[in-house]
Amino acid sequence: MNELHSKTNPALWSGRTSDRQEYLHEKVRLAGPGLNTKVRTDAHSFVLLGYACDEGVRRNGGRVGAAEGPDAIRRELGKMANHLPSRVELIDMGNVVCPEGDLEKTQEVLSRLVAKTVGQGGIPLLLGGGHDISYAHYSGLRSALPRSQSLGIINFDAHFDLRTNQNGNHSGSPFYQIAMDCQKDDLDFHYLCLGIRREANPPELFQRAEELGVDYMELQEFSMLRWDEVSKRLGNFLSTTDKVYVTVDMDGFSSAFSPGVSAASPVGFSPEIALACLHQIVISGKLLGMDVAETNPKYDRDQQTAKLAAGIIHRVMHETSLL
């Protein structure tokens, strides 16, 4: 497995220095590769793991470059202020990579690392990478849970990502793959997608979403102007599942906020609505794991997308640490 799992370059974690760990680059502990990293069980342990892979984007006909996303996010996260309690751990377990284009093997490695992290009591916060990260991330979370516990998916995204994987896994197929696995294992498929753009999803995908019982809000509904409705829909979904897996596709945001993605669009949601929803999810106490996907530094502007992705991780870590 180690040929597909590399330790993070320490130089990525840098910024202002202090004598009291006032910045995250001073707080983080670098670990990996492999499955031997131990986390504390008496306090929150946040485990960062990069998915340095854009093979799924290439297979889906998108703009490659997301393989560089995890390290770009680390550069921005390390500069941010550290308000985590001293007892809380921040561990960077490095990157899972895809050097030979074997996406399926890379997903398998990531899934095992996620399962190991959750099994030890850690909270995986994954950095993507293409949105094919979701199949591996969900699979690892699901395998770490007892069958009696349900696991819901909340996806902040312009796209359903319910395309079939008949010709191999790719960045547009993760939630279809999850749905098929749920059917095979006789498990409920709980999937809420927030921010769907009608012009970005053909009729076939709306039909598939209907057939699979997907809950979703289209972009015109997903706004702070309609917060009461958004919060109610989100609360209803949270009430139906024991744990949740959250994934934030950076191409769901307007390119005014997030230009560095595979499928950029000026039409998209704002950070404000996403952060409000993430707060509601965190305080529910049901968050099992989260990732940010599709950060593509090749097309970024002033590291804006990487900064937004890092800010999302920062907010979720700090709010979760207060529980």
The total number of structural domains in the chain stands at 1
- Output the pLDDT for position 44: 86
Distance CA 125, CA 321 (A): 13
From residue 160, give the alpha-carbon distance in Å to each of 5, 20, 67, 243: 29, 44, 22, 21
pLDDT tens digits for range 23-53: 999 999 999 776 567 787 667 899 999 999 9
What are residue 289's phi and psi, to 5 degrees? -165, 155
* Cα 135 from Cα 158, distance rounded (Å): 17
Q: Is 215 annotated as a binding residue?
A: no
Report pLDDT for 33.
76
pLDDT per residue over 39-96, tens digit each? Answer: 876 678 999 999 999 999 999 999 999 999 999 999 999 999 999 999 999 999 999 9
249 labelled ligand-binding = yes
Structural domain boundaries enclosing 296: 2-321
Average pLDDT over residues 138-159: 98
3-state secondary structure string across 171-223: CCCHHHHHHHHHHHCCCCCEEEEEEECHHHCCHHHHHHHHHCCCEEEECCCCC
Q: Is the pLDDT of residue 174 over 70?
A: yes
**CB neighbour list of residue 104: distance below 8 Å, 6 or more residues apart:** 168, 169
User: Is 131 marked as binding a ligand?
Assistant: yes
Q: How far apart are CA 81 and CA 314, in angstroms?
A: 9
Instruction: Give the pLDDT confidence score for residue 297 in this predicted structure.
Output: 98
CATH number at 126 reads 3.40.800.10
β-strand pairing of 151-156 with 243-249: parallel
How large is the average pLDDT for residues 238-262?
98
pLDDT at res. 1: 54
pTM of the model: 0.97
What does the pLDDT look like over 261-319, one tens digit per residue? 999 999 999 999 999 999 999 999 999 999 999 999 999 999 999 999 999 999 999 99
